[in-house]
Chain A
Amino acid sequence: MIETDLAVIGGGPAGLAAAIEARRNGVRNVTIIERDREPGGILQQCIHSGFGLHIMKEELTGPEYADRFIRQAGQLGIDFRLNTMALGISPNREVSIVNSYDGATAIKAGAVILAMGCRERTRGALNIPGTRPAGIYTAGTAQRLVNMDGYLPGKNIVILGSGDIGLIMARRLTLEGATVKMVCELMPYSSGLTRNIVQCLHDYDIPLALNHTVVGIHGTERLEGVTVAQVDTERRPIPGTNRYIECDTLLLSVGLIPENELTRTAGIEMDSATGGPAVNESMETSLEGVFACGNVVHVHDLVDNVSRESMLAGRCAAQYIAGQRGKNKDARVLFTVAGNDVSYVVPQRIRSEYVQSESKLFFRVKREFRQAKAVIRSNGETIYTKNVLRAVPGEMESIAISSDLLGRVKGRDIVISMER
């Protein structure tokens, strides 16, 4: 058994920021459990720039952004257990781990931060009919192969889904000499950032087919082509719109799923809307002393937001370890609710006395809005209104949790809705 004050599961952007912030707030022993051979997580394969614009006010590549945090963690004496897999968490905060140097053992921690990130949705989850040849990759796997391993997954490429990784890979593969024939998007809008649509598709004349999906996969050994079809407003393929596109590779960028098998098996309360654990204003889960941050809680668009959220989790975990938390069990708890045209709200619970200066309500809209309003109601009464010029499901919205706002809450619920 290994003992530590804080165990952080995952050494990606979330885990690094949380660990550093906890250390800076007085936690003596911080251990990061990382399954890869180096920390940094998915940032290491994101060699494009655009990271850090918000919190560092400069434009970095993924590895550069990660490196800033890794250096700080090193200077602060944070313990990295690399090539190590976390296999479970017990209610008394023992994390069972395995690696080749400690063997199969457990890390007993004063507090735990879950920072496992997310995984990509696969072809199977979409039930795309057809054959099962080689040449079908999730966009992130293709990105790893190209940027880390130095291999090209294929030469003639169709991308399904216009999530950010898919858009970034459309550009990346074009630069590597592959032909990206088209990007299909099931919805009438892209789920990716606008800047990526412009910089990765428009700049390279790659067509984006909105309201289109892949309805057939062909080829027995290696992929030979796909059938794409237009879809109606119910997202069902429209008969007669089928088109065969010859290609040797299909990349899927069809959504990210918070990686919560550990969380679920630990019995932590989940939010089915986010796919992550339900958290409070301090990023603490339903299991006392277990915090969570980053994409394991809800999928973010920008790593800057992941870092910010994780710093909050790290600081609150430090306060918990220092005994400044968890005593006030009777604290008045407010519940956030996703109202009209809002798909989810994080955090799910708020205790007013623990709200931090930077605490925000994060939410996503269900469809595209222009010139609309975000409205907060409590007990049926409107307590806050914010004008929104444009909102799309692909970009996260936020509202600061001010003491002024909390003072106006009448009931126990805080309902966020979108209105024209």
Chain B
Amino acid sequence: MIYDVAIIGAGVIGSMIARELSRYCVKACLIEKEADVAMGTSKANSGIIHAGYNDKPGTLKAKFNMLGNEMMARVSKELDVHFKRTGSLVLAFNEADFANIKELYYRGIANGVPEMKILDGAQARAMEPNVSHDVIGALYSPTAGIICPYELNIAAAENAVQNGVEIFLDNEVKSISKEKGLFLIKTSKGRIRSRYAVNAAGVYADAISSMAGECDYTIKPRKGEYILLDKSQGGLVHTVIFQPPSKMGKGILITPTVDNNLLLGPTAEDVDDREDTRTTAPGLEEIIRGARKSVPAFDLKETITSFAGLRAISSTGDFVIKASERVKGFINVGGIQSPGLTASPQIAKHVVEILENEGLALKEKSGFNPERRRVLRFNEMSLEEKNEAIKNDSGFGNVICRCETVTEAEVIDCIRRPLGARSLDGIKRRTRAGMGRCQGGFCGPKVMAILSRELGIPMDGVTKKGGGSKMLAGKTK
């Protein structure tokens, strides 16, 4: 098998590119080193659809942010993922901050961000009564929003697979060479040949690029730690609450999530290890301190979990999205830090245009279906819908996860669909079973039993997230 295009990395960027390519009669594959999609940066970020005032006019970040933000309404509808245009506030606590948000305002105007407003402290508190009394002003942008990043990623990958893209999970790329005009990609599991190769490898993008023989940029991981609070705290704010940005990033934000939790973070710490997603005591303290500055009232006792992700910071300071001049047919899509999630639909579109410029023939596929339906969620149904669902499938009457009211039917659906879940975390991210306040304490053993039954594997073969992450050590005596 020779693929037209091999995409390396099944994060949100690789998956969106795969989906975009699946519109055409192109044989494409998606290669991922982990056991599931959305296992790197795409599963651990703020989940913000940015308005577009942060980046300097003329940068790819600024341009693609604007276009991606506009596209998100349609894309989220097609992929049936939760997206809320909540708006955002950047708070100013002193005159220097106020000058900073004014600068953002003018940058936003230059970028074409619509309907922004500069508010005074009282107006900001009228909009968000729980923000600090120390706030003297804020930049309001109604077009900012929130999305669940791994939900978008999984949906895009699933839709790509539905439309014919092949996916190779657990395939870590070891080398890339060119033979007779074709890329030969050797992975931990086998060999893949393709005419074009797209590098969407996140924090490993520079390493993958070097394997192919192109090394005109480097990636430095920057860690961001987060704290997630229970739904009891989700109503404290309704918009995304930022602090004025610094050279390290957009600062500690506090935001509701699409699932009505409250998210605090991220920190920004440059690290060397590309797998270092450890949370740290100083990091967690910094988040709490920073978030309290904006919104003092949250109850830390309602913490559900903390986690960390790595942003891919490129040496160029901007997204690196271009065809290699040295290696024909190799497309770099690197340095996709914030606003990468927002920009992802536009980046996908742009990459497909680059491939066409590089000679890939794009003939539209008649059977392409842009729509994908999410796992039906019992707790989002009306009473009539619930009864109808139970009548058709009694599994909807069996609640497995009680914190999030997830039923057996939902767990089974997410295992059986294309690109189905294979691990506890896979199920958690697809159905929210185990995502709530007891963190899988009650549903964990039940979900393990369903996975074992559905996949035909022994209980002690069930993993948390693939690989060696086995949940059990074996049977008792």
Residues on B with C-beta less than 8 A from A373 are none
Q: CA A87 – CA B381 in complex, angstroms?
A: 13
Least CB separation from B444: chain A residue? A141
Q: How large is the interface on B (under 10, 10 to 19, 20 to 34, 35 or more residues)?
A: 35 or more
Residues on A with C-beta less than 8 A from B283 are 129
Residues on A with C-beta less than 8 A from B475 are 150-152
CB-contacts of A129-156 with B (<8 A) = 129-135, 137-138, 140-141, 144-146, 148-155
**Given known contacts A100-B398, A120-B438, A122-B439, A248 and B469 CB-to-CB distance under 8 angstroms:** no
A134 touches B399 (CB 8 A): no
**Given known contacts A124-B303, A221-B465, A104 and B472 CB-to-CB distance under 8 angstroms:** no
The digit string for B301-314, where 1 denotes a CB below 8 A from any CB of A, is: 10111110000000
A101 touches B460 (CB 8 A): no
The digit string for A97-139, where 1 denotes a CB below 8 A from any CB of B, is: 0111111110000000000000110111101011111110110
Least CB separation from B468: chain A residue? A221
What's the least CB distance linking B404 to chain A, in Å?
Answer: 11
Which of B228, B303, B391, B469 has the most C-beta atoms of chain A within 10 angstroms of its own C-beta?
A: B469
CB-contacts of B114-160 with A (<8 A) = none
A134 touches B464 (CB 8 A): yes
- A220 at interface by CB-CB < 8 Å: yes
Describe A's contact surface by its main secondary structure: mixed
| A85 touches which of B405, B441, B473 (Cβ 8 Å) | B405
- B369 at interface by CB-CB < 8 Å: no
B398 touches A129 (CB 8 A): no
**Given known contacts A35-B399, A222-B469, A149 and B441 CB-to-CB distance under 8 angstroms:** no
A87 touches B405 (CB 8 A): yes
Least CB separation from A98: chain B residue? B397
Describe B's contact surface by its main secondary structure: mixed
- A205 at interface by CB-CB < 8 Å: no
**Given known contacts A122-B438, A141-B441, A129 and B465 CB-to-CB distance under 8 angstroms:** no
- A176 at interface by CB-CB < 8 Å: yes
| B464 touches which of A133, A151, A155 (Cβ 8 Å) | A133
**Given known contacts A103-B387, A104-B390, A221-B465, A152 and B472 CB-to-CB distance under 8 angstroms:** yes
| B476 touches which of A35, A120, A152 (Cβ 8 Å) | A152
- A26 at interface by CB-CB < 8 Å: no
- A343 at interface by CB-CB < 8 Å: no
Residues on B with C-beta less than 8 A from A151 are 459-460, 472-476
Q: CA A120 – CA B161 in complex, angstroms?
A: 39
- B293 at interface by CB-CB < 8 Å: no
- B275 at interface by CB-CB < 8 Å: yes
**Given known contacts A127-B306, A134-B464, A85 and B402 CB-to-CB distance under 8 angstroms:** yes
CB-contacts of B424-452 with A (<8 A) = 437-442, 444-445, 449
A125 touches B397 (CB 8 A): no
B307 touches A125 (CB 8 A): no
- We find that the number of chain A residues with CB closer than 8 angstroms to chain B is 53
Which of A101, A134, A153 has the most C-beta atoms of chain B within 10 angstroms of its own C-beta?
A: A134
Residues on A with C-beta less than 8 A from B278 are 129-131
Residues on A with C-beta less than 8 A from B228 are 124
What's the least CB distance linking B223 to chain A, in Å?
Answer: 12
B444 touches A176 (CB 8 A): no
Q: CA A140 – CA B439 in complex, angstroms?
A: 13
- B281 at interface by CB-CB < 8 Å: yes
> Can you offer 28 A-B residue contacts whose CB atoms are under 8 A?
A35-B399, A87-B405, A99-B397, A100-B396, A100-B397, A101-B394, A102-B397, A104-B397, A119-B437, A122-B304, A123-B439, A124-B303, A127-B279, A129-B284, A130-B278, A131-B277, A133-B469, A134-B470, A138-B441, A141-B441, A144-B445, A145-B472, A146-B476, A152-B473, A221-B465, A221-B468, A222-B470, A261-B403
Residues of B within 8 A of A (CB): 227-228, 232, 275, 277-281, 283-284, 301, 303-307, 378, 383, 386-387, 390-391, 394-399, 402-403, 405, 437-442, 444-445, 449, 459-460, 463-465, 467-477
